[in-house]
Amino acid sequence: MDYITERACAKINLTLSVGKKRADGYHDISSVMQTVSLCDTIKLTKADTISLECSRKSLPTGETNLAYRAAALFFAKTGIVGGVSIYLKKYIPVAAGLGGGSADAAAVLRGLNRLYSAGLGLGELCNIGAELGADIPFCIMGGTALAAGIGERLTPITNNVTMQFVVAAGGEGASTKMMYELLDGTDERVLIDNDAMVAALSGKNLDAVTALMANDFEIVAEPIRPTVTELKRSLVERGARAAMMSGSGTSVFGVFATRKAAVDAASTLRTEGYFAAVCSKSARIG
């Protein structure tokens, strides 16, 4: 085959606990992460060199783009002589805490593995991805997992809860670097019980899941990004069991018991000028 397509699924954080800054500049985290059906699509076509075209013209398409770098690293690691023409159709909001760049890189690694019949296992792909970013191994694997370390140590979780999500975002994003710097400037943290969240997900307990949702970054995000607070309130007013910022922000997701309630809420938010997408949890890749 000469080309394939891959889905690059966004991720949300049902919990996110952030430790103090380490000597190496990274932070240890503990987070229950979930991939969702909101996704970018990537077409990979065999070529002699690496090139990248993106539907969102404001995004870089050279070596600073994670998808481009993932392709370069794949060929370097495998020793395969070849290249790829990448077309990235972008749907996931940028700088929103949804892991869009990591998802794109993960999709490129999975796709090139298939396109060139490289035969790499999921673990080998994750090891390659970890060299580019801490979220990439999770985006390669997908599903539900408890992430530890800087995010690269993953334990798959059984998620038996039926739920729908509305992912919403305003106009202002936030860089991950800035959010970590703000969090480093405060000792405030949220009480987060990941063990209880894991039990709630496996036990089909939606009420417990929504009660346990917590994200340390909200402490520093809400004072400077008021749309986070506004979107959380709007989602709850429109039927969400709970609403919370994802990752380092500034997107917000609401958890709904039914798809109809989620669709109605998203429709209303879009009329108010927000990005709003209805999505469901996506399964583990392998």
Phi and psi at 167, nearest 5°, equal -100, 125
97: region left, alpha or beta (phi > 0 left; psi from -120 to 50 alpha)? left
Instruction: List residues bridging with 255 in a β-sheet.
Output: 165, 242
Owner of token pair 């334990």: 155
Q: Helix count (H) and strand count (E) of the chain?
A: 10, 12
Measured distance CA(87)–CA(8) in Å, rounded: 12
Any residues with CB less than 8 A from the CB of 117 and at least 6 apart, and which? none
- The token pair that represents 236 in the structure block: 């709850």
Instruction: List residues bridging with 188 in a β-sheet.
Output: none
**At residue 234, what is the residue type?**
S
Measured distance CA(198)–CA(37) in Å, rounded: 21
Instruction: List residues bridging with 9 in a β-sheet.
Output: 39
Q: Catalytic positions, please?
A: 11, 135
Structural contact between residues 107 and 40, judged by C-beta atoms closer than 8 angstroms: yes
Any residues with CB less than 8 A from the CB of 79 and at least 6 apart, and which? none
Instruction: List residues bridging with 155 in a β-sheet.
Output: 146
